Chains A and B, each alone.
Chain A
Amino acid sequence: GAVVSQHPSWVICKSGTSVKIECRSLDFQATTMFWYRQFPKQSLMLMATSNEGSKATYEQGVEKDKFLINHASLTLSTLTVTSAHPEDSSFYICSFFRGYEQFFGPGTRLTVL
């Protein structure tokens, strides 16, 4: 099956710093990738849809200037959390569809001190 990798697996940073998360599809070219966020004991919430070669589409309430998405190639999408604050601490997961099945990356756990 399709494989999605994410890096880093976890990151701890100080408040005010920026963190970049990479999502790669390893055996499939994805024109569209999705970025989700999951807070403890809550559901996955779609943050944005990342389209290769064009601007990402953000969900209501998600600040596009804070969560920068770049989908420069068919196998790589990046999410940068700019000026991270403790409330941004969460589990960030990318995914893409192949056929009817959605494949998720292993997730990145971000902790902002």
Chain B
Amino acid sequence: RKEVEQDPGPFNVPEGATVAFNCTYSNSASQSFFWYRQDCRKEPKLLMSVYSSGNEDGRFTAQLNRASQYISLLIRDSKLSDSATYLCVVNTAGGGNKLTFGTGTQLKVEL
């Protein structure tokens, strides 16, 4: 089983739609969780950290369920510019700053 699993997609949604991505992680000792965005042929960029209480940043909402070892990202009012691959990233306790990346979920927002 992969340490971090995501549905690769692609998810094709119309502009203005609300879309959600899920991610599961296998190591229950994982401490920190993030969503990164990666555009084609570019480096990943931090979208947001994920906190236990859930957190929101504009149109983006992240949720963490430690019991189910599950992380989600919700994007409201999708824009064309949201088209990218969204990477679920986990930092496991004791691993220092070593991050484990999911394969990413590809989102395509269309007119």
Which A residues are within 8 Å of any B CB, using their own CB?
Answer: 32, 34, 41-46, 49, 91, 93, 97, 100-102, 104-107, 109
- Residues of A near B8 (CB, < 8 A) are 41
Known contacts A41-B8, A49-B98, A97-B97; A107 and B103 CB within 8 A of each other: no
Whether A42 pairs with B41 at a CB distance below 8 angstroms is: no
User: Smallest CB–CB gap between B64 and chain A, Å?
Assistant: 16
Known contacts A100-B49, A102-B46, A106-B43; A43 and B4 CB within 8 A of each other: yes
> Chain A residue with minimal CB distance to B102?
A43
- How far is A49 from B99 in the complex, measured between Cα atoms in Å? 11
User: Smallest CB–CB gap between B58 and chain A, Å?
Assistant: 18
Known contacts A41-B8, A43-B4, A100-B49; A107 and B43 CB within 8 A of each other: yes
Which B residues are within 8 Å of any A CB, using their own CB?
Answer: 4, 8, 32, 41-46, 49, 87, 96-104
- Residues of B near A93 (CB, < 8 A) are 43-44
Whether A102 pairs with B99 at a CB distance below 8 angstroms is: yes
- Residues of A near B4 (CB, < 8 A) are 43
Whether B44 pairs with A44 at a CB distance below 8 angstroms is: yes
Whether A42 pairs with B103 at a CB distance below 8 angstroms is: yes
- Residues of A near B98 (CB, < 8 A) are 34, 46, 49
- How far is A34 from B44 in the complex, measured between Cα atoms in Å? 14
- How far is A32 from B87 in the complex, measured between Cα atoms in Å? 23
* Set A32, A41, A45, A106: member contacting B97, Cβ < 8 A: A32
Most buried by B among A34, A43, A104: A43
Most buried by A among B42, B45, B97: B97
- How far is A92 from B4 in the complex, measured between Cα atoms in Å? 20
- How far is A41 from B43 in the complex, measured between Cα atoms in Å? 14
12 A-B residue pairings within 8 Å (CB atoms): A41-B8, A43-B4, A43-B103, A45-B101, A46-B98, A49-B98, A97-B97, A100-B49, A102-B46, A102-B97, A105-B43, A109-B41
